[in-house]
Structure 1
């Protein structure tokens, strides 16, 4: 998402990665840009919405705001204010900066925030070249819903429109669950329905998997058998309710978000990054809730 500050007699533009102009959906951001940002400026960053009642980032609220215009947009802005997490500066004082190195653009961005004392909804994306701090971010900051990992960028890289050229490292948490049912067929399962026992020993559904890739579906299918009549009764620890006519039994397993284990692996942080001092590491938000 880019924000272009208004020039003399101009208007503030909010543009998605695909080029759509959506400033009519973000009146609070437009007002903040008119009040705080200097003319001739283009910021690149990520829009997020904070749900004060739930005390978390809300992708659902972000979706509603992105789809609502005019009067409805102002109503939702009051309920769910937007914040812009800036991670790059593409133009300043009307001068394009795309060919400058990321290190130069970052320095100008930091100076912009300090010189103009920018406050909410403008937020400077944290950055470090310290590997230990990056590991800490990967472990602790990803406890916040909507923050799924860190991004690694080359400090010498120029801005490449339409091409990210970044390395993203996601956090992955694993936990033991019971796979008790599926959608699809026993030979081609599509989704796994996951369960856990409550304090009374009753198996409760707690979630589902993402759609299975063909290779994963084949591996899961090898362990599936149809539940025998009456098997769901009693103190079974390996079955869950029926889904689309199929009751299944499967061994216990692990599920997790794709990426790296909690805390990250040193090898993953170093892979392709021989000199960490020449890399900029940033906290990364969930793509679907950010750059539209």
Structure 2
């Protein structure tokens, strides 16, 4: 077995903390992985793992070797990508992580267009609300609307995170009357529960004036945004949602804005949606092209993408 393959197997075993899980991830067998690690240990004259029947952990030598192995594999990958960029067509793979709510709002359309126009690129898109580290997860890009102050990560603003109040036309027709700051608590409310969001009040603004609104008792509350959005479209009540999510439904008439002169402040999610990538990826052509597709999507859909060069904000 060549040394490069063995290094990849060692890194996978260290990151998974288990030979069986690492072998499954790599599409090989635990015995092949064990053999690869044994070869490395023999060549180094040092044990890389302490193994018992219950657990497996890196030795001191293993920790040192893991850092070097990661750097070596990363440099080889970057060198390969540099060669790819000499070719006219994009090639290789691109791994992306994003919240599930981004998919129907814009990521589906962007990824499908990217795949149609770049036949030799393979996309892997993981949709999860769980925070994922770009390095440990092996991701090229992350899309997030939460905190972005991460070491070694460039956070480029993509689109404003403006929050608007929406309802279906059918719900408003059934309930009748105009929603105002005086009567809003009389309506049915769909409310997202999230650790970053206040459960007691909202701040809304109009022409520079900030107004504090007490949250009404929800008719429906959930920690899943997509579930609430489906219920909103079904006509179950009112909901504050980001404009980037509301846009296609406002365009189709499935939703309408309520009290459009008021905007809710984005609270813990922050004022922007960001695309994040590691500093050593800033000149990778696949990354740059995909980011441009994201920006083009918002321009074509009349969303103003924030200005600034790639890497306008870095942590």
TM-based fold match above 0.5:
no
* Higher relative helix content: 2
- TM norm structure 2: 0.28
- TM norm structure 1: 0.30
